[in-house]
Structure 1
Amino acid sequence: MTPKSRTLLTALALLTSLTTCLPAHAASAPVRGKPGCSSSLPYVSGQGGYATYRIPAVVRTRRGTVLAFAEGRRDGAGDTGDIDVVLRRSTDGGCTWGPLTVVAAGDGDTRGNPAPVVDPRTGDVVLVTCGNAGTVTEAQIMRGEVPAGRGRRVFVQRSRDDGRRFTPPVDITAQVKRPGWRWYATGPGHAVALTRGPHSPKGGAPSRLLVPADHSSAPPANSSDSGQEPKYYAGHALYSDDGGATWHLGSIDAGHDGRTNTNETSAAQLPDGRVYFSARDQKGTAPGNRLDTYSSDGGTTLDRPYAVQPTLNDVPVVQGSVLQVHCPGAPLLFSAPSVPTARRALAIWSSTDAGRTFSKLFTLSDRPAAYSDLVQLGHDTIGVLYETGTTGSYDTLEFHRLRLPGAPVSARAPRVRGR
């Protein structure tokens, strides 16, 4: 057995507390997986009509189907241009994938930042995205050089048939974006349905659907960034209490102090009902590249401003994903690259104290890697959809299944074996 395999098996042994539970909306559907299936490639750049696939987001539906969303970038790896939100479905736990479908077409413009969530009450898949004109850049939007109609807009869609078809995008920008905001980004990565605490479903009422997001506004009047790309990002959340029909602004961290620049954000609901937010620090002056905070009222307000998470200092400036595994005593998981100065070596961290501290469980590989999203597949299995490759981080989107020990052998994903 190689040292890497021993490390992985040791790390998996730490996850024994994850083996008995599923999210409430998925408990009726068993996880399926082919013998020997540990990873698959739902997206390969250069195939399917797109030069590059980026920005993964993944959820598991009530029926057990895995939905892998991404941005299909037609002209290259850049964030601007003709970009669609695309989807592939898997009915065997992420081992094989159905045909690619376009969920939100850019038609020459930019559509992206998928943030899907499964409504526990109806089983509908609600997808929030955003976009802008295909000829403008993030820097131009942040400098205030782009008319409102060509800047960032926010959209919602719904699938009532397990992700086979989605309704056309509905523009909700006026509900969730303040007039003075310039940049706006949902997620990216899965959103959260609150199932505990004051906004949990009662008597058949909908759960609160919560989408973590970030935005920018004009730099302070005394800023030295005039005429340059501003660095003042801040976090916020948007939520729906009626299954995605209407939306509201929730918590806003509007410090814009340049010390911590809250950027791409993910969220998870902790067992005590609080929401944990984890964010990328986009070139802030504080040490480290990860920020976090909590909300005790379902994302309406924050318990404190975003602050540096020092136990994730190995993470570079990049998006990351958090997942609270649904099981008593189970840890909070975090995924991201693990080299502070480069996007490579995707790793999984664990927190057993509600996000106060994290420790690394294992590294999936030493290859280039960037964005990722975590999903619970079954009582003994989690999955991670992430950007990786051999020549660069954006060669493929790989889906990796990680078996959690303690279930009957017939139900397990394959063991990791040494050579």
Structure 2
Amino acid sequence: MGSGLNLVRSRSPVPTTVMIMKISRWAMALFFVAAVEADGRIKACEEAPPPNSAISSPIQEQQAVNRSSTVVFEAGVDGYPHIRIPSILALENGDLLAFAEARQGGDHARNDIVLKRSFDRGRTWAPLQLIDDQGGDSLNDPLPVEVRFGPHAGRGYMTYMSFPEGCHTDCVEAGYGHRSSRNWLVWSDDRGATWTKPMEVTRTFRKEATNYAGSPGVGIQLERGPHRGRLVFPQRQGPIDAMKAYAVYSDDGGDTWHRGEPAANPPGPATADEISMLELEDGSILLNCRAHNGGPKRRLRSRSTDGGASFERLEVDDGLISPHCMGSIVMHQATDRDFEASRILYCGPWREEGRSEGAFVTSGDGGRTWGPPTMLVPGGFAYSQMVVLEPGGEIGLFYEADGYRTMRFLRFDPGTVKAGDRVK
């Protein structure tokens, strides 16, 4: 693959750092959430149901981490009326790359893929960069990964999918024709300053019999076992009512890619949706994903022991509550990296109905069981993605807030968070 670097375009000044108010409208005894239509319009506000009380370890009521957040993207700024779908990558040198869909309306409204970079651990953000704009077609689900070692070390890849104008997951055709979805790959060799022209990788990333493939989130590079060095992108394939999770992977630093076999869905109506993956200490891959198609208000999980070439059948993770929303898992610390205990984190909305109450939970046994939740963001909290800023230390959280009007970045240390801390 050639380089073909072309400069991205900058649009806006660095946004101002803001602090969340100590007592906000989200932190009242009654929560009010704004329902959002598929095209991005806000419906009338309605009273949200009370916090779920069926979980054995409920959140300490309306408590939050004593941390500040920064606004990374804001609707109505940079020429885009809507901004959604967070994806964030922490580079080896400490830079942060925050990707999003810049939208004219809903999920399929001529979306562009955009980026902002931070050079100070998320305190400030550089001007917006336009990665790809395909006119009337909609670009969706940015998914980056960094090559930390091996061929092309230091390179960052980002994949995403496109839909023909006026069509999305429920009407796009199977096959590789004009009315089908397409998959794209770009890369950067200068820490996100410039990116290549898009390369189409549709025939590698999805089967002809499916009508779309992709997932928001981040990819991983395996560090252990026989597949050390492998780059892995989580994917889910259509159709919309029968989605399945799988991986696309590369063993040569991204020069060539291979499509793995999908995991079977669990018994019942639930199917796989937006996927998060991490590498466990034994070199296997833990898959954690949103349940779709009327499944339980819990996350689904699976495992791969062959580097993502195949996955075990998905099962319901009863320890992770979710209102059918994107969430993420990360390996915070591992025993084979000089820590006394392993710690995996999951973060997402911690309620069965409504996207609110952003909380994290931890697991010390490879994601089999989870501890009690700790609230980070009371009130509105939708799609989110975590990133490890320091193993065993700070975590970065990139999330949708304020009724989808902003995308914010929050830093916190899971080892020092205490019940009763509040967001300022």
Does the pair score TM above 0.5?
yes
Decide which of 167, 178, 200 is 1:171's aligned counterpart.
200
Match in the other structure for 2:81 = 51
SS at match of 2:211: coil
2:288 & 2:236 partners in 1: Cα distance?
Answer: 12
Contact conserved, 2:64 with 2:422, CA < 8 A, in 1? no
Equivalent position amino acid for 2:395 in 1: I
1:101-123 superposed Cα distances (whole Å, 9 cap, x missing partner): 01122322111211111101211
What does residue range 16-35 of structure 1 map to in structure 2 within 5 Å? Answer: none
Shift of 1:50: 0.7
1:246 & 1:334 partners in 2: Cα distance?
Answer: 31
SS at match of 1:367: strand
Match in the other structure for 2:298 = 289
Contact conserved, 1:260 with 1:284, CA < 8 A, in 2? yes
Indicate how the Cα distance of structure 1 residues 361 and 273 shifts in structure 2: closer, same or farther if over 3 A, else same.
same
2:79 & 2:326 partners in 1: Cα distance?
Answer: 26
CA RMSD across the alignment: 2.8
Q: Give me the identity figure in percent.
A: 31
Equivalent position amino acid for 2:71 in 1: L
Decide which of 212, 229, 237 is 1:215's aligned counterpart.
237
Which stretch of structure 1 is more off in the superposition, 36-45 or 102-111?
36-45
Match in the other structure for 1:395 = 405
Contact conserved, 1:66 with 1:93, CA < 8 A, in 2? yes
Equivalent position amino acid for 2:319 in 1: T
Match in the other structure for 1:357 = 369
2:87 & 2:400 partners in 1: Cα distance?
Answer: 11
Contact conserved, 2:175 with 2:208, CA < 8 A, in 1? no
1:299 & 1:377 partners in 2: Cα distance?
Answer: 25
What does residue range 9-158 of structure 1 map to in structure 2 within 5 Å? Answer: 38-73=68-103, 75-76=104-105, 78-121=106-149, 122-141=153-172, 144=173, 148-158=177-187
Equivalent position amino acid for 1:238 in 2: V
Indicate how the Cα distance of structure 1 residues 61 and 127 shifts in structure 2: closer, same or farther if over 3 A, else same.
same
2:259 & 2:174 partners in 1: Cα distance?
Answer: 25
Confirm or deny that 1:242 pairs with 2:252.
yes
**When the two structures are superposed, what TM-score results if normalisation uses the length of structure 2?**
0.78
**When the two structures are superposed, what TM-score results if normalisation uses the length of structure 1?**
0.79
Shift of 1:236: 1.2
Match in the other structure for 1:342 = 354
Confirm or deny that 1:270 pairs with 2:257.
no
Shift of 1:83: 0.6
2:122 & 2:423 partners in 1: Cα distance?
Answer: 24
Contact conserved, 1:38 with 1:95, CA < 8 A, in 2? no
Confirm or deny that 1:331 pairs with 2:343.
yes
Shift of 1:147: 7.2
Over 3 Å off, 4+ runs: 144-147, 254-258, 415-419
Which stretch of structure 1 is more off in the superposition, 251-260 or 240-249?
251-260
Indicate how the Cα distance of structure 1 residues 350 and 37 shifts in structure 2: closer, same or farther if over 3 A, else same.
closer
Which stretch of structure 1 is more off in the superposition, 287-296 or 190-199?
287-296
1:177 & 1:125 partners in 2: Cα distance?
Answer: 22
Q: How many residues of Structure 1 are paired with residues of Structure 2 in the alignment?
A: 358
1:370 & 1:418 partners in 2: Cα distance?
Answer: 17
1:276 & 1:106 partners in 2: Cα distance?
Answer: 34
SS at match of 2:171: helix
Shift of 1:263: 1.1
1:90 & 1:38 partners in 2: Cα distance?
Answer: 16
Match in the other structure for 1:298 = 307
Contact conserved, 1:260 with 1:306, CA < 8 A, in 2? no
Contact conserved, 2:220 with 2:277, CA < 8 A, in 1? yes
1:297 & 1:256 partners in 2: Cα distance?
Answer: 20
1:302-361 superposed Cα distances (whole Å, 9 cap, x missing partner): 1x201111111x310111111112442231111111110111111112111111122243
2:278 & 2:290 partners in 1: Cα distance?
Answer: 15
Stretches of structure 2 that go unaligned for 5 or more consecutive residues are 1-21, 28-58, 336-340
Shift of 1:98: 0.2
Shift of 1:7: 5.8
Shift of 1:37: 7.1
